[in-house]
Structure formats: structure tokens, C-alpha cells
């Protein structure tokens, strides 16, 4: 009886001091950092089918995904034992997009200038999610191989032959130069879109295409003043294995041509001969990862499907958690089955430095545009 009376007494004191904010006391989310991760939005092309329509323009599909992203605030996270499980989502500070914003302008696809305009109209003005200060969620962008090829040319004909609008646009938004770049003044060789941000005690790093030897020089310089106790997360277009054709042509004039089919998107010349493997390139990257063990996570797109996995390197001597994003336009699986369309919600406990990445299936009922997001797979890792 005495035990029951004591519990009632302390409950009464709690109500006096906390009052109507009791539910907020139990549901404190101030230590949670949320951001959305997407990739390969590919403005300029069409989906074969979407919500009962055929040959659907990329702007329509992306606007539909944005509408679903806008429903996240107020949703309850699933009871999946992940970070923030069971709590309501409040502020979402960022939307990270890892490239291929504009599709490559070949085969009659629209110019990069048109695609970039559509992207900024949609993601710049139609997203309503806000950060903890009530300001619009910040876009964190890197270019993809399509954006870069639009700027420097490709081994198949494009119309126009080059259009650096999306590269200049990404550069201006992310690096804030004193004089904005234009499609005519942007120089891919010198205007690399490499930058970093410290958010919630975590160092976020964004690189152009992939961490080749040239980008690793920049990255090493960026990390030299970052304490080894600070977690680092990498964002870039290509996966850790990289894509052989994105390196500089090692043959002849080292140019972009239809015989060799290298795209010259990375400064480093390809070392593995004429093979499709990237063993030597990966080994250089793994050496860098071992020298910087506070790199704890890797986010990327390019191969267009959702995947949570561990990158082990060509010699199986590294273990880097990786998160690959689906594409609303070119998903390996979602292009065939639109109910598999997804983006990812990342939730970080900034106190414990643990992170959960959750798959958000946003089109599970194509006949009902108002159908809610369905929680899919999730993966939790430590950033310490």
C-alpha cells in the first residue's frame, strides 16, 4: 500500500511541474537529426508507366515523390528498434541528392538547362519540410555522371553538344561563389563540387562523382583538421567500387571517343587496362579508408536501387556501411514494379552517434495518390 501511495505522490508532483507538457517530456526528439536521401531523379526522361499513365514525364513523377516527402512531419517512426523508434517525426533538416539531376541530353532528351529549371522549380519551391528553426530543409547536392557529361560532352551525339547548366547550378547552390557560374563560365576541370558541412557533431562530405586519387587529395586536406573522434559520412554519385568508364581514358589522346568509351569524369586515368574491373582504383580508396577510420558511412546512387550493405573492398579487408538509393525514374526494380519506389529517411541520435536509415515506400498503392508511406527495410549503425 505504501508503495502505491509513493507512486501516486510522485506522479502528482510530476504533473505539477510538467503539466500539459508531460507527453512532450516523454517524446523529446531534440537529439534526433532527420534528413531525406534521394538520388538519380533524372529530369528529362519519361517512365514507361506510373499511376495508370503511360510515358510519364519526370517532372510529374518527381512532384509525386515530393508530395510524399512532404507528409513525413508528424508521421510516427515504426517500432523497429531503430533510432527514434515509435516517435513522431518533427523537423527534417536536409534533403541529400547524389546526382543525375539532369539526364544526359542524347537520344532526343531535353537540354540540361530545361531539366535544371524543372528541378529547381520542384525541389526548390514545392518541398514544404522544415528544419528545427522553421526554415526550409536545405538541399545538399552532388553531380552525377549525366550532369557532368552534359557539361563536357559524350562519345555519342548530344543536342546541344554541351550544356553545363546543371553543373553550374549545383556549384552555385553548394559552394556559393562570389560570382555565380553560368553554363558558359563553368569549368569542369577546375570547378569541382567538393564541400563539407558539420551537422550535429558529424562531418558530412560531398564529392564529385567518386573519391578518385585527385578527389582524395582534396578530401585529405578537408579532414586534416577534423578530430579523429568526429564521425565522417561520404556522399557521392558512384558506389565504392566506382565505375570504370567514369575514369579518364588511359589510351591514345586520353580523349572521349566512341571506340574507348571512357567518359573522362574523373581526373585519375584508369589503371586496370581495358577490363571492366576497378581493383587497382578500389585498393587506393581502401588505403585511404584505413588511414581515416572515422569515415563511418557512404551514401550513393548511380546503379538505381535501394540497398543497405557493407562494402568489404577487393581484398575483403574493410567494412564500410553503405546506403544506395532507388531512382524515381530508372530504378532497377521500381521501374518494373512501381510499388517498390522509395526514398530514404535517415535518423541520427546526435548524443549517442547512432544512425538508422529507413526505406520509405512512397507508391505502394498506385491507384491512390494519397496512400501513406509504408516503412520498408532499415539498417542501424554506430558512427563511433
Does residue 59 sit within a domain?
A: yes
Helices 112-125 + 165-175 axis angle, to 10: 40
Does residue 25 sit within a domain?
A: no
Structure confidence at residue 277 (pLDDT) = 86
Does residue 65 sit within a domain?
A: yes
Instruction: Report the distance separating Cα 184 and Cα 154, nearest Å.
Output: 17
Structure confidence at residue 272 (pLDDT) = 78
Q: Where are the alpha helices (DSSP H) in 250-306?
A: 279-291
- Set of cell numbers at residue 245: 568508364
Select from 341, 333, 346, 379 the least CA-distant residue to 66.
Answer: 341
Range of the domain at 188: 32-382
**CA dihedral for 181, 184, 187, 193, sign (positive or negative):** positive
Q: What is the DSSP letter of 136?
A: B
Please count the residues of the chain: 384
CATH number at residue 213: 3.60.21.10
Cβ burial of 138 (10 Å; 0-12, 13-18, 19+) is middle
Distance in angstroms between the alpha carbons of the first and the last residue of the chain? 46
Structure confidence at residue 27 (pLDDT) = 53
Instruction: Report the distance separating Cα 320 and Cα 167, nearest Å.
Output: 29
**CA dihedral for 149, 153, 154, 159, sign (positive or negative):** positive
Structure confidence at residue 249 (pLDDT) = 96
Does residue 108 sit within a domain?
A: yes
Structure confidence at residue 274 (pLDDT) = 59
Which residues in 29-98 belong to E strands, given as ranges?
32-38, 46-50, 53-57, 94-97
Task: Please provide residue 180's backbone torsions phi and psi, each rounded to the nearest 5 degrees.
Answer: -65, 140
- pTM value is 0.91
Does residue 17 sit within a domain?
A: no
Ordered mean pLDDT values, 10 residues apiece, the chain (384 residues) = 44 37 49 97 98 98 98 97 96 97 95 98 98 97 98 97 98 98 98 98 98 98 97 98 96 96 97 80 97 98 96 97 98 97 98 98 97 98 96
Instruction: Report the distance separating Cα 370 and Cα 71, nearest Å.
Output: 10
Instruction: Report the distance separating Cα 44 and Cα 177, nearest Å.
Output: 27
Does residue 24 sit within a domain?
A: no
| Beta pairing, strands 354-361 & 374-382 | antiparallel
Structure confidence at residue 30 (pLDDT) = 84
- Set of cell numbers at residue 85: 523508434
Select from 11, 41, 53 the least CA-distant residue to 115.
Answer: 41
Instruction: Report the distance separating Cα 257 and Cα 263, nearest Å.
Output: 8
Task: Please provide residue 114's backbone torsions phi and psi, each rounded to the nearest 5 degrees.
Answer: -70, -45
Does residue 15 sit within a domain?
A: no
Does residue 275 sit within a domain?
A: yes
Structure confidence at residue 9 (pLDDT) = 43
Select from 338, 355, 357, 359 the least CA-distant residue to 49.
Answer: 338
Instruction: Report the distance separating Cα 336 and Cα 36, nearest Å.
Output: 24
Helix, strand counts (H, E) of the chain: 8, 14
Per the structure, the count of domains in the chain is 1
- Set of cell numbers at residue 334: 521500381
Amino acid at each position: 500500500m505504501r508503495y502505491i501511495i509513493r507512486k501516486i505522490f510522485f506522479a502528482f508532483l510530476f504533473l505539477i511541474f510538467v503539466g500539459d507538457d508531460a507527453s512532450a517530456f516523454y517524446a523529446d526528439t531534440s537529439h534526433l537529426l532527420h534528413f531525406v536521401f534521394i538520388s538519380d531523379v533524372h529530369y528529362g526522361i519519361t517512365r514507361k508507366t506510373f499511376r495508370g499513365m503511360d510515358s510519364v514525364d519526370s517532372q510529374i513523377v518527381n512532384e509525386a515523390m515530393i508530395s510524399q516527402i512532404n507528409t513525413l512531419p508528424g508521421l510516427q517512426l515504426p517500432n523497429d528498434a531503430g533510432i527514434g523508434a515509435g516517435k513522431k517525426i518533427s523537423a527534417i533538416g536536409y534533403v541529400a541528392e547524389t546526382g543525375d539531376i539532369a539526364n544526359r541530353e542524347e537520344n532526343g532528351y531535353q537540354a540540361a538547362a530545361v531539366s535544371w529549371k524543372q528541378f529547381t522549380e520542384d525541389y526548390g519551391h514545392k518541398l514544404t519540410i522544415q528544419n528545427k528553426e522553421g526554415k526550409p530543409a536545405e538541399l545538399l547536392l552532388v553531380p552525377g555522371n549525366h550532369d557532368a557529361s552534359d557539361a563536357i560532352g559524350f562519345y555519342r551525339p548530344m543536342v546541344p553538344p554541351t550544356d553545363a547548366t546543371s553543373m553550374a547550378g549545383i556549384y552555385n547552390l553548394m559552394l556559393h561563389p562570389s560570382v555565380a557560374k553560368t553554363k558558359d563560365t563553368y569549368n569542369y576541370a577546375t570547378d569541382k563540387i567538393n564541400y563539407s558541412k558539420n551537422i550535429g557533431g558529424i562531418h558530412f562530405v560531398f564529392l564529385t562523382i567518386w573519391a578518385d586519387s585527385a578527389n582524395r587529395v582534396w578530401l585529405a586536406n578537408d579532414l586534416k583538421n577534423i578530430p579523429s573522434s568526429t564521425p565522417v559520412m561520404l556522399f557521392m554519385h558512384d558506389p565504392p567500387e566506382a565505375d570504370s568508364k567514369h575514369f579518364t581514358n588511359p589510351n591514345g589522346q586520353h580523349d572521349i571517343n566512341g571506340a574507348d568509351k571512357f567518359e573522362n569524369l574523373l581526373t585519375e586515368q584508369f589503371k586496370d587496362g581495358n577490363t571492366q574491373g576497378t581493383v587497382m582504383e578500389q585498393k587506393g580508396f581502401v588505403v585511404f579508408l584505413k588511414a581515416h577510420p572515422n569515415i563511418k558511412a557512404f551514401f550513393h546512387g548511380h546503379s538505381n536501387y535501394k540497398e543497405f550493405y557493407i562494402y568489404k573492398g577487393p581484398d575483403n579487408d574493410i567494412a564500410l556501411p553503405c546506403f544506395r538509393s532507388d531512382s524515381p525514374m530508372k530504378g532497377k526494380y521500381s521501374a518494373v514494379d512501381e510499388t517498390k519506389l522509395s526514398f530514404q529517411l535517415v535518423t541520427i541520435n546526435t548524443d549517442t552517434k547512432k544512425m538508422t536509415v529507413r526505406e520509405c515506400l512512397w507508391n505502394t498503392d498506385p491507384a491512390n495518390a494519397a496512400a501513406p508511406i509504408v516503412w520498408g527495410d532499415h539498417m542501424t549503425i554506430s558512427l563511433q
